[in-house]
Amino acid sequence: MIVIKIGGGEGIDPRRTAEEIAALWREGQRFVIVHGGSHVTNELSEQLGHPAQFITSPSGHTSRRTDPQTLDIFMMAYCGVVNNRFVEALQAAGVNAVGLSGVDGGLLRGKRKAAIRAVENGRTRVIRDDYTGTVEEVNASLLATLLDQGYLPVVTPPALSYEGEAINVDGDRAAACIAVALKAEQLIFLSNVPGLLRDVTDPESLISDIARHRLEEFDSFAEGRMKKKLLGAQEALDGGVGRVVIGDARGEEAIHGALNGKGTVIG
């Protein structure tokens, strides 16, 4: 079992991987896909006059400010367009894909943050109408049922809070949680960078291998979204996943590349 997370940043169209996924699927490889949708969400937010806002926590993590209207826009982008169009492309390529948000069947469950702290100009502010949280539980039985029947699950945030509210969650950490729940051998993160870089401005500075017990030492090279990937990688490895690869979604044969160790391999 492999879990493949395809990012939603600028320049990534998950549909480009459909033929490659179909080939892997026909070979009998079993996997679950998780995808993002942040760039489509940003564009749509702009078009709807409710531009994206990002907040930084006191610990330095960045996340999307998710008021109820933003969550609607988030669902339109992640579930409505990106998920459906990706499933459509997979179906056209001959894969019987099924799209699921984390709300469906309580697939991704977690705690909603009752209050979040945001640092602005050096001051910390508390926000209470935010719908964000972190995935803690995965309904692995739903995924297993679909896989057993020959369906490829294509999973996207949001998740479901314990109170039954849709919540924005980080897709990378959700993918890690799914990988642990399915006892996956590998977790692949594909996004719009070549992997973890020593110097974020230099694509040639790729860190190609990290021993799992040394992962923390590399924290300082991660900025923005990459911090979440390293956190997800750590959670996956701690949960029993054999190997995590952070690879590039943009080239040809992106998935095969990552499976063959192209990118940053942690394990």
Interaction with its own copies in 162-191: which residues (CB under 8 A)? 163-166
Q: Tokens in use for 126?
A: 């508390």
The smaller minimum CB distance to its own copies, of residues 134 and 205, is found at 134
Near its own copies by CB under 8 A: residue from 32, 87, 236, 245: 87
- In angstroms, the Cα distances linking 235 to 16, 65, 179 are 28, 24, 10
Q: Are 9 and 36 in contact (CB under 8 A)?
A: yes
- CB-wise, 148 or 199, nearer to its own copies? 148
Contact range with its own copies by CB under 8 A, out of 115-123, 158-166, 219-227, 254-262: 158-166
* Contact between 200 and its own copies per CB under 8 A: no
Longest Cα–Cα distance in the chain = 54
- Residues 195 and 218 sit within 8 Å (Cβ to Cβ): no
Report the residue count for the chain. Answer: 267
Indicate whether 77 belongs to the interface with its own copies (CB under 8 A).
yes
Sequence-distant (6+) residues with CB within 8 A of 122 are none
Contact letters for its own copies, residues 33-72 (x by CB under 8 A): -----------x--xxx----------------------x
Among the listed residues 13, 19, 20, 104, the single contact to its own copies using CB under 8 A: 104
Q: Which of 83, 168, 186, 191 binds its own copies (CB under 8 A)?
A: 83
Q: Does 108 bind its own copies (CB under 8 A)?
A: no
18, 43, 69, 82, 171 from 52: Cα distances, Å? 29, 9, 11, 18, 17
Residue 17 CB, shortest distance to its own copies, in Å, is 16
Shortest Å distance, C-beta 103 to its own copies: 5
- Cβ atoms 155, 36 nearer than 8 A: no
Question: Shortest Cβ distance from residue 239 to its own copies (Å)?
Answer: 25
Nearest distance, CB of residue 54 and its own copies, angstroms: 21
In whole angstroms, what is the distance from residue 131 CA to residue 158 CA?
Answer: 10
User: CB atoms < 10 A from the CB of 138, how many?
Assistant: 24
Please give the Cα distance from 145 to 233 (Å, whole number). Answer: 26
Dihedral sign for Cα atoms in the order 144, 99, 30, 183: negative
Residues that bind its own copies (CB under 8 A): 44, 47-49, 72, 75-81, 83-85, 87-88, 91-93, 96-101, 103-106, 141-142, 145-146, 149, 151, 158, 160, 163-166
